Amino acid sequence: MSVPLFVAQEIGHTLLDENTWMPTVTIDVSQSPAVADLARVHAVEGIGNVSTHAIREDDTVLLGVQLTSPVQATFAVAFSYELHREFLNEVADAGSLVFATTDTEAAHEERPLWLSVNIDGTALRQTLQIDLS
């Protein structure tokens, strides 16, 4: 089974309501229509079952996302440990991550659907603390 792999392009935060900022990563899903459609499916059908896991090898942290309902889908996002360590700790603390799959410059006006998933913060934090030396 082939799992779509995306590279973390931009990182930042999305304002969900007046006081809630959510860690957000931009990924290019233009070559993966099934992943591009996940936000719409979840908006219509509900969040369903989502699990996440993370592994670290050298400078790369792979964050895997598996959805089993309302649809089945799996994908992974590659982060740089050196560049994104602080951000990934924020994700672990928040226990959630937004995947921005459209133009972030127009997001404030267009209000696109982006995929937000719960993250296993404890497991992610443990992965980040592994000493690879």
Identify residue 104 by its one-letter amino acid code: T
C-alpha torsion sign, points 88, 90, 95, 96: negative
**C-alpha span between 106 and 128 (Å, rounded):** 32
Q: Is the pLDDT of residue 47 over 80?
A: no
C-alpha torsion sign, points 21, 43, 71, 25: negative
Per-residue model confidence as pLDDT tens digits over 51-107: 999 999 999 999 999 988 888 889 999 999 999 999 999 999 999 999 988 777 766
Torsion-angle region of 35 (φ positive above 0: left; ψ -120 to 50: alpha; else: beta): alpha
Return the residue matching tokens 């443990």. 126
Instruction: Map out the domains of the chain as residue ranges.
Output: 5-128
pTM comes to 0.88
DSSP state letters, 59-120: TEEEEEEEEEESS-EEEEEEEEHHHHHHHHHHHHHHTEEEEE-S-STTHHHH----EEEE--
Chain-wide mean pLDDT for the chain? 88
Number of H helices, E strands in the chain: 5, 8
pLDDT > 70 fraction of the chain, expressed in percent and rounded: 91
**C-alpha span between 41 and 53 (Å, rounded):** 22
**What is the total residue count of the chain?**
133
